[in-house]
Structure 1
Amino acid sequence: MASLPSSPAQPPHALLPLLAAVLAGFAAAAVVLLTLGDRAVAIGFAGAGLIAAGGLFGARRLFRSDTGAEPRTDWSVAHALAAASDDALAVTDRAGRLVCANARYEALFSGWPTPPTLPVGDAAVAALGAAARAAWRDGAGACDALQVFGVLVRAQVTRIGEESLVWRFVGAQPLDLAARVQSLIFGPTGDRLGAAGIMAVLLGPDGRVRAANRVFCLRAMGNGDSPAEGRDFARFLITDTRGFVRFEREGLGGTPLRVLQIPFLEGEEAPLLVALLDEEQPSTVTPAVGASAAAHLRSLIALLPSGLALVDRDGRFVSMNDAFTRAARVNAAAPPLYPGDLVVREDKAAVADAIRRFAGGAAQSAEMTVRFTDAPDDPVAITIAGARGLGDAAVLISLKDSGEEGKLKRQVAQATKMQAVGQLAGGVAHDFNNILTAIIGHCDLMLMRHSPGDSDYDDIQQIRANSNRAASLTRQLLAFSRQQTLRPQVLQLPDVISEVSNLLKRLLGETVRLEIKHGRNLGPVRADPGQLEQVVVNLAVNARDAMLAANPNGGGTLTIETMAVSGSEIRRMDEEVLPHGDYTALRIADTGAGIPADILPKIFEPFFTTKEVGKGTGLGLSTVYGIVKQSGGFIFAGNGAGGGAEFIIYLPVHAAAEAQVAKVPVVKEKPADLWGSGTILIVEDEDMVRAIAERALTRQGYTVLTAENGEAALELLDRIERPDLLISDVVMPLLDGPSMARQVRKRYPDLPILFMSGYAEEQLRRSIALDNVGFLPKPFSVQQLAEAARDVLAPK
C-alpha cells in the first residue's frame, strides 16, 4: 500500500515559553526565600510564575493560527477499502500527487505511477486527463476501452469532496490472474507439475511463450534452465501423418503428446494455458504418477474462472470447479451425478452420446449447444474433449458462461429474425396489394355499369368490401414490417385520445370503466393520427380481453394517461434504449392479471398469441410495435404496481417552431370533376394492375400508353412525343422505376411523375431521390387513381 507521509506532530519547542515562565516564577521565589526569609512572599512569587504560565498557554490556545500547520488526514479507512477492492484503486490530491493506492494498482501498472500519466499510450493518457477534468468539474468522469498490456480496462474517476480524486480501474482482474498463473508455472508449483509429468506453458495472444515450467524447457530445448519466453510455441511441436503431436527436438520417434488448451480468461487478447501430457502407456506410466498428475492438474483447474468439469469413463462427474457450478446453476446441497442431469430432456441423449464417444478415445473435440433445466430459454455452448492421463477422469467439459455477451447475441439473433420476418411480410403485402388493386379496380369498373337495385350491384359491393378488409390486413403486415405508408401530422396526443374515446367505450362494454388522464405542458408529436388511433384501440382491446380472462364476471378499469417526460427525467431513468431528449408519453394500463415473466419477452413477436385458436392472429401487438417504431417512438411493456399489464409509449417532442399542430386529421376537399386530357404513359410490370390503370384513365378522357417495364418505356419514349404524365411502379425487374425516371428526366426535366407502389412511401422516397414526384400507395381505387393523376397534372 502506497500513501503520503502523515503530518508531523507539534514540535517540542512550542512549549518552551511555558516552561520558561514556570522556571522564572520558582527562581524568583527561591531568591526571596534566601534573602528575606519570608515564606509568604516566596510563595507569592511562585504563584505569579504559575499564573503567567497559565496565561501564556491560554493565549496560545486562543490566538493560535490555523495556517501554520495542515490538518492531519487519517487514510486508514481508505487503505482498508482499497485493499478489500477487486479493482485497482488510487487516490490523488488537488495538486495531482498520488496519495494512496492498493496492491492491485501496483500489479496493473508495474509500480506506482501517478494518474493520468500512466504507461498506456499518449491517446489513453489524454483521455484520462479529460476524465480527470470532468471529475473535478462534474463530480465524475470515465475513460472506456483502455488497453493495458492487451487487456481492456475501464477507468472511472470520482471526486471526493473538493480535495481528492478516486481512480478506479475496472477489468484489471484478468491481468492479476494471468500474472498469478504465470508465477505458478514459473515457480515451485511448476516444478511440482513437472515432477508429476505435466508440462505447463502460458501463451500470449500472439502464440508466443510467456512462461513455461522446467520440464517443458528440458523436453523442448534440451536444457531445463534455457529461457523459453518470447519463443513461438508452434515451432516446438511437429505432427505426423496420423495426427500425433511430438516435440520437434525429439523427432518422429519421440513420445506422442496430449495437448490440453485451457482458456482460463475470456477475450481474443487473453493468455492461454496449455498443458502437455505424454500419451499414457500402461507399461511405462505407474498409477502413482498418474494419480499425482491428476491431483495437480485438478488443483490448477480449480483456480481458473472458466467453467470446467471432469467426467469418468462411466459418464459420472469426477470434479467441477466453482465457475462451472455457478454457470450451470448446480445445487450444492444435491449435486448432479451425470452431466445429463443438468440439461433439459431433449438434450440428454446428445450429451450422453458425446461423453461416451470421447470417453472411448475419440480424437479432437466437439462443441455443442445445450439448455440447462434452470434456464431452458438460454442456450449455452459447451466443449467436450477427451482427457486421458488424468486418473479416473476421461472427459473434460468446458462451459462458457457468456453472461452479457450471450444476452447480446440472443438479442441480435432475435432482431435478425424479426427483420427477416418483416421483409417476408413486406414482400407478401406488396404482392397482395397488386392483386387487391386489380380486384378493387374491376369492382369499380363494374359498379360504373350497374346502379343500386341491380341484381349484381350488392354482390359487387360485397366483393369490394371484402377486398378493403384484405387491404387492411396488408396494412397490418406493413405496419409490423415498418414499411407502411404513413401520413404524419404534428398533433397533440389528447386530441387523438378524444377522437377515439367514443369508439373505446363501445369496444370495452359496460363492465369495463375507462379513465382518461392528461398531463400538463404536453409537447406536440409528429405521427399519423389514424395509426395512433389503431395503436390505442389494439392495446385497449387486449386489455379488455385480459381483464375478462382474469374476472369472467366482468369488471376492471382501463387507464389511458398522457404525460410530459423531460430530458432530465430520461437521464434519471438510465434506460439504454431511450435517447436523451424530451418526450410525450402515452400510458395504457389495466387491472387484469398482468403479463407472466416467461411471456413478456415474446409479446411483440409476430403471430405469438395466448388466446385460443381462432380468437387471435398474433399480429395486434406486433402491429403496435411497428407503428410506434416507424413513428420514431419507443414502447415498453411490463406490469404495473397494481399487478395489471402496463404499456408506455414514448414519442419524441416535435421541435419545429413553424409547425402547425393539427387537432384532427385534415381531409382535403376534392372537386367532383375528374375528367382530363393529355397523354399518360403507364409503366407497370403486373399485367392486371396495368390493365386496370389503363382502362380507368381512358374512361376519364386521357390518351393512355403502357409499357411492361422500364426498358420498354425508354424504347417507347424514343418513338413518341413527350407525354404529359409518367405513372410508374417503383419495384420492377430489369430496370426499376426511379432509375428509369432519372433517365427520362434527363430528356424531359419538367415531366410530371407519379409513382405507385405497395411499399411504404417513406422507405421509397429515400431511394427515389427525385424532386416534384407524386406517390400513390397500393391498393387504390379507380377514383383515387384519377384524383392522383389530376393533382399531379394540375398547374402549380
Structure 2
Amino acid sequence: MASLPTSPTASRGAALIAVTCGCAAAAIILVVIGSAPIAAAFLATALVATGAMLLFRRLFPRTTELGAEPDWSVARTVAESSPDAIAVTDRAGRLVCANNRYETLFGGFATPPGLPFDATGVELLGAAGRAAWRDGTAGVARLLIKGAQLSAEVTRAGEDGNLLVWRFHATQGLDLAQTMENLISGGTGDRLGSAGIMAALINPDGRIRAANRVLRARAMGHEEGAIVGRDFARFLITDSHGMARFEREGLARNPLRVLQIPFLDGEDAPMLVALIDEEENSQPAIGESAAAHIKSLVSLMPFGVALIGADGRFVQMNDAFARAAAVDPHSPPIYPGDLLVREDKGVVADAIRRFAGGATHSTDLAVRLKDHPDEPVALSIAGARGLGNSAVLLSLKDNSEETRLKREVAQATKMQAVGQLAGGVAHDFNNILTAIIGHCDLMLMRHSPGDSDYDDIQQIRANSNRAASLTRQLLAFSRQQTLRPQVLQLPDVISEVTNLLKRLLGESVTLTVKHGRNLGPVRADPGQLEQVVVNLAVNARDAMMSKDPRGTGTLAIQTYAVTTAEVRKLASDILPAADYVVLEVADTGGGIPPDVLPKIFEPFFTTKEVGKGTGLGLSTVYGIVKQSGGYIFADNVKAGSRGPAGAVFTIYLPVHTAGTLAEAPPARILPREKPVDLWGTGTILLVEDEDMVRAVAERTLTRQGYTVLCAEHGEAALELLASGPKPDLLISDVMMPLMDGPTMVRQARARYPDLPIVFMSGYAEETIRKSIDLDNVAFLAKPFSVQQLAEAVRAVLGAK
C-alpha cells in the first residue's frame, strides 16, 4: 500500500488553533484572578505545546493509505489475444491500457476519441463514447484511416461501470487492402510476373507494402530482396524522354510503363502499381503485347473493373464487374448506360465524357442498376492514361450483400426498440387494469345481479379483461410473456390443433399436413406454439379470401429436420449452425407485397380494414418464436411447380438435447388451487408505488380479515420493519423508484430470514426471474382480481 504524508497546511492550521486557545485562556485568567504571572505561564505553556506538536508532526508524519493501483497485466494479456485494436479508458478520459495492435494501427498510444481520423471521424467517435457512458454500448460503422475502413464498438465496463472499452476492427476496406497484399505476394503475383507484369502495393507515404517476385528481382537483383518498407521512387529513374526505368538497370534495358490503379477511396488509401516493359518506339500508344498484359491485369482484379474507350463503349470488363452488374461477361452491353435505370444514364454519360476529355480527379456516383432499381450501388469513374484505346476506368462495388445486412440489422434494431416500448407500455397498462378490475370487483360485492348497475359494472370488467389480453399479446411480441416450456414433438402439437384449424379455415380452404422423418424434440410451450399455428393460419385464410371472395385455396403445414451441415450451406448471417426442426406454413393467397414484407412483424401494423384486426397476430408469433429460442422468416413463393403464388412462413426451432442443463425453477405462480375459505388473520406489509393499485390491494386484504401496513416504496417498508413487529407476509411490487422490490426483500430477509414473500408485477415472470431468484418467494402477475389476490395470500399463509 502506498502512503501519503499529512498535509503541512493541516499542521499549520492545528498550530494556529492551539496558540489561539492559549491566548484566550491567558486573557480569562488575567480578568478573573488578576494575576499577570499566572496568565503569562498559561500563554508560555501553550506556545511550548504548539512547538512540540509541530516538531512531532515533522519528525513523525502521519500517513494516509491509498488504494493499490489495479494490476492491468491480465487485461493486457487478454487484449493481446484479440486480432482487434483494443483500448480501455477511465471516467477521466485517461488511457488505462491498450494492446499492441492498437499501437500499430494508430502509431502510438493516443487516447480515444483523439485518434488520427479526420474531423468527422473524431466527432463520431466522441459521440459514441458519450452514448456508451449513457446507454452502455455504442458504435461507429465507418471510420477511415490510411485508406482503410474501421468500425468501432464502445462498451461501458468495470464493476462500477467506470471504464470504457474501445474495440476497433477492420471492415471491407482494410480486408480488401490485405487481400490485395496477399495476392501480390503469393501465387497471383507469380502469375502476373509470368505475363510480364511487375506489381507492387504502395502505401500513401510512397513505401512498398508488397511486391511480386519479378519486381523484386528487377529492382534489387534477386527475388528474395527485402523490399517491403523501402521507398518505391528510389528504385526508378527517368531518361531524357521522361520514360521510367529501374535505377540498377540504367539505360540499357527497355523503358517501363507505370500504371497506377486506385482501388480504395480516400487520399490515404494504398495504391496498386503495375510496371510493364515497352519498346523504345512505343511512346505514343501501347503495343499489342502490352495490351494483352493490361487485359490480364484487369481480369485478375478481385474487384469490379471495366475499361471504357473514348467513344464511350466498353473495351473490357472483368468477371467481378460482370457479377456486380448482373450481366453476362461473354455478351456484355455496348454502353455503360445500358446497365442503368433511365434517370441515371445521363449523369454517367456526362461523367464519362468529362474524364475521357482529360479530367484528372476521380468521382464516385450512386447509381441504380435496371435489374435492381431499389438498391443503389457505388460506381467510381476515373480517367485512364497509358491504357491504349481505354480512356475511362470504371469500378463497380457489389454491395448487395452489405445492403442486405444493413437492412436486416436495421430491422432487428427497430424490432428490439419496438419490443422494449411494447413491454414498458404493457407494464404501465397492467397497473391501470389492476386498479380498474379491482374496483369493479369491490363494487360487485355491493351489488346483486338484479341491480341496475350490476350489468354496467360487469361490462366494464369484461372490457378490462379484453384489454388485459391485448397486453399479454404485447408482452408476447416483446418476448416478456411467461412461458412454461416442455420437451415435446412438433407433430404432436400440430395434431392437437388440426381440428380447430379445419373449423377456422372453413370448407373452401384445403388443409394439408405433412411431417418429415427423424424429427428431434424441441423445448417450447405447447400452448404458445398452438397460438403460433392458429395465428398464421388465420392470416393465411384472410389473405386467400382477399384474393378470392370464396376463400378457396390451400394451406400447407409441413415439418422437417434440418441438420447443421444443411444450415451451413444456407450461409445465413442470422441462423446459427445447429440442428433444427422446421415448421413451414404456406398458403396460396398471392403473397405479401414487397413494401409490406419488412413491416409484418411490427405490432399494430395491419393491412386489414379498420375494426377487422389489431395487427398483433404476427407480432405475437414473432415474440413467441424468439423467446422459444427459434427463428422465423417470411417470404413469397412465385407461381410455378409448387402451385399458385403465396406466402410462406418458415420457423426454425432448435433441437433439444438431453445433455442441456435444466433451467432454474421459476418462482411459484399463484394461485395453484382455489382454497375454499379465503378469510384469514395476520399482519401483511404491502409495498406498492402505484397509489391506485395499493388502495385496491389494501381494501381487499382488509376485507379478508388481515391487518395491512402500507408503504409506498422500499425505504418506507424497511422503516416499518425496523420500528414494528415482524409481519406474517410481505407483498411487494418488483419495479419501484428509489429501491426496487428484490433489494428491499434482501435487506428484510437479513432481519427476518423466514419471512414469506409474494412479488407482484406488470412485467412477466420470465423477464424478472433473475432478480427475484430467492427462497420462499411466490409471484402474482398483474392485472389480478380481488379474488386472485385473496387466493394468493391464503395459499401462502395457509402453507406455513
TM-score (norm 1): 0.57
TM-aligned CA deviation for residue 753 of structure 1: 1.9
Match of 1:735 in 2: 739
Is the 8 Å Cα contact of residues 185 and 212 (structure 2) preserved in structure 1?
no
Match of 2:688 in 1: 684
Residue deviations 1:387-423 (CA, integer Å, cap 9, x gap): 5857898976543335766655554444333323322
Match of 2:708 in 1: 704
Q: 1:342 aligns with which of 340, 343, 352?
A: 340
Match of 1:538 in 2: 535
CA distance in 2, matches of 1:754, 1:350: 70
Match of 1:671 in 2: 675
Identity %: 64
2:739 match: secondary structure: coil
CA distance in 2, matches of 1:504, 1:677: 49
Letter in 1 for 2:462: A
Sort the Cα spacing of 1:173 and 1:210 in 2 relative to 1 into closer, same or farther, 3 A. closer
TM-aligned CA deviation for residue 670 of structure 1: 0.7
CA distance in 1, matches of 2:452, 2:699: 24
Sort the Cα spacing of 1:720 and 1:611 in 2 relative to 1 into closer, same or farther, 3 A. same
Letter in 1 for 2:200: V
Describe how 1:262-281 pairs up with structure 2 within 5 A: 262=263, 273-275=271-273
Describe how 1:631-780 pairs up with structure 2 within 5 A: 631-633=628-630, 635=632, 641-643=642-644, 647=649, 652=655, 668-780=672-784
Is the 8 Å Cα contact of residues 520 and 561 (structure 2) preserved in structure 1?
no
CA distance in 2, matches of 1:540, 1:495: 17
CA distance in 1, matches of 2:536, 2:798: 42
Sort the Cα spacing of 1:491 and 1:234 in 2 relative to 1 into closer, same or farther, 3 A. same
Letter in 2 for 1:201: A
Q: Does 1:325 align with 2:322?
A: yes
Is the 8 Å Cα contact of residues 671 and 795 (structure 2) preserved in structure 1?
no
Match of 2:147 in 1: none
CA distance in 1, matches of 2:705, 2:617: 43
Match of 2:197 in 1: 189
Is the 8 Å Cα contact of residues 185 and 210 (structure 2) preserved in structure 1?
no
Residue deviations 1:42-62 (CA, integer Å, cap 9, x gap): xxxxxxxxxxxxxxxxxxxxx
TM-aligned CA deviation for residue 519 of structure 1: 8.9
Q: Does 1:202 align with 2:206?
A: no
Match of 1:281 in 2: none
TM-aligned CA deviation for residue 229 of structure 1: 0.8
TM-aligned CA deviation for residue 689 of structure 1: 2.7
Match of 1:22 in 2: none
Residue deviations 1:703-722 (CA, integer Å, cap 9, x gap): 33333333443344333333
TM-aligned CA deviation for residue 784 of structure 1: 2.0
Residue deviations 1:669-692 (CA, integer Å, cap 9, x gap): 412432233233333333333333
1:680 match: secondary structure: strand
Residue deviations 1:255-312 (CA, integer Å, cap 9, x gap): xx99753269xxxxxx9653499xxxxxxxxx96698999787774443120134679
RMSD: 5.7
CA distance in 1, matches of 2:215, 2:511: 80
TM-aligned CA deviation for residue 180 of structure 1: 3.5
Is the 8 Å Cα contact of residues 524 and 653 (structure 1) preserved in structure 2?
yes
Q: Does 1:229 align with 2:227?
A: yes
Residue deviations 1:632-668 (CA, integer Å, cap 9, x gap): 45556665944565556565468599x9xxxxxx995
Sort the Cα spacing of 1:357 and 1:575 in 2 relative to 1 into closer, same or farther, 3 A. closer
CA distance in 1, matches of 2:200, 2:616: 57
1:209 match: secondary structure: strand
Sort the Cα spacing of 1:211 and 1:535 in 2 relative to 1 into closer, same or farther, 3 A. closer
Is the 8 Å Cα contact of residues 202 and 232 (structure 2) preserved in structure 1?
no
Match of 1:415 in 2: 412
Letter in 2 for 1:790: R
Is the 8 Å Cα contact of residues 674 and 790 (structure 1) preserved in structure 2?
yes
Sort the Cα spacing of 1:668 and 1:772 in 2 relative to 1 into closer, same or farther, 3 A. closer
Q: 2:509 aligns with which of 497, 509, 512?
A: 512
Match of 1:308 in 2: 305
Letter in 2 for 1:335: P
CA distance in 2, matches of 1:444, 1:229: 88
Letter in 2 for 1:431: D
Match of 1:283 in 2: none
Q: Does 1:471 align with 2:479?
A: no
Question: Size of the alignment, in residue pairs?
Answer: 577
Q: 1:454 aligns with which of 444, 451, 454?
A: 451
TM-aligned CA deviation for residue 627 of structure 1: 1.4
Q: 2:188 aligns with which of 149, 169, 180?
A: 180
CA distance in 1, matches of 2:698, 2:342: 62
Is the 8 Å Cα contact of residues 263 and 306 (structure 1) preserved in structure 2?
no
TM-aligned CA deviation for residue 340 of structure 1: 9.7
Q: 2:430 aligns with which of 415, 429, 433?
A: 433
2:780 match: secondary structure: strand
Residue deviations 1:548-588 (CA, integer Å, cap 9, x gap): 34433344454667x785979989998974865685x7665
CA distance in 2, matches of 1:472, 1:621: 15
Letter in 1 for 2:689: D
Letter in 1 for 2:262: Q
Sort the Cα spacing of 1:151 and 1:503 in 2 relative to 1 into closer, same or farther, 3 A. closer
Describe how 1:118-267 pairs up with structure 2 within 5 A: 175=183, 178-181=186-189, 184=192, 188-190=196-198, 201-203=200-202, 208-211=208-211, 229-231=227-229, 261-262=262-263
CA distance in 2, matches of 1:349, 1:715: 78
Letter in 1 for 2:440: C
CA distance in 2, matches of 1:687, 1:362: 74
Sort the Cα spacing of 1:369 and 1:722 in 2 relative to 1 into closer, same or farther, 3 A. farther
TM-score (norm 2): 0.57
Letter in 2 for 1:209: R
TM-aligned CA deviation for residue 765 of structure 1: 1.0
Match of 2:131 in 1: none
Sort the Cα spacing of 1:524 and 1:211 in 2 relative to 1 into closer, same or farther, 3 A. closer
Sort the Cα spacing of 1:613 and 1:684 in 2 relative to 1 into closer, same or farther, 3 A. same
Match of 2:107 in 1: none
Is the 8 Å Cα contact of residues 547 and 554 (structure 1) preserved in structure 2?
yes
Sort the Cα spacing of 1:226 and 1:548 in 2 relative to 1 into closer, same or farther, 3 A. closer
Is the 8 Å Cα contact of residues 204 and 210 (structure 1) preserved in structure 2?
no
CA distance in 2, matches of 1:317, 1:617: 55
Match of 2:480 in 1: 483
Letter in 1 for 2:686: I
CA distance in 2, matches of 1:716, 1:344: 77
CA distance in 2, matches of 1:274, 1:356: 25
Which runs of 5 or more structure 1 residues have no equivalent in the other structure? 1-149, 153-170, 191-199, 238-248, 250-256, 265-270, 278-286, 660-665
1:451 match: secondary structure: coil
TM-aligned CA deviation for residue 468 of structure 1: 2.0
TM-aligned CA deviation for residue 695 of structure 1: 2.9
Residue deviations 1:407-440 (CA, integer Å, cap 9, x gap): 5555444433332332222222222222222322
CA distance in 2, matches of 1:733, 1:605: 30
TM-aligned CA deviation for residue 496 of structure 1: 5.3
Sort the Cα spacing of 1:298 and 1:518 in 2 relative to 1 into closer, same or farther, 3 A. closer
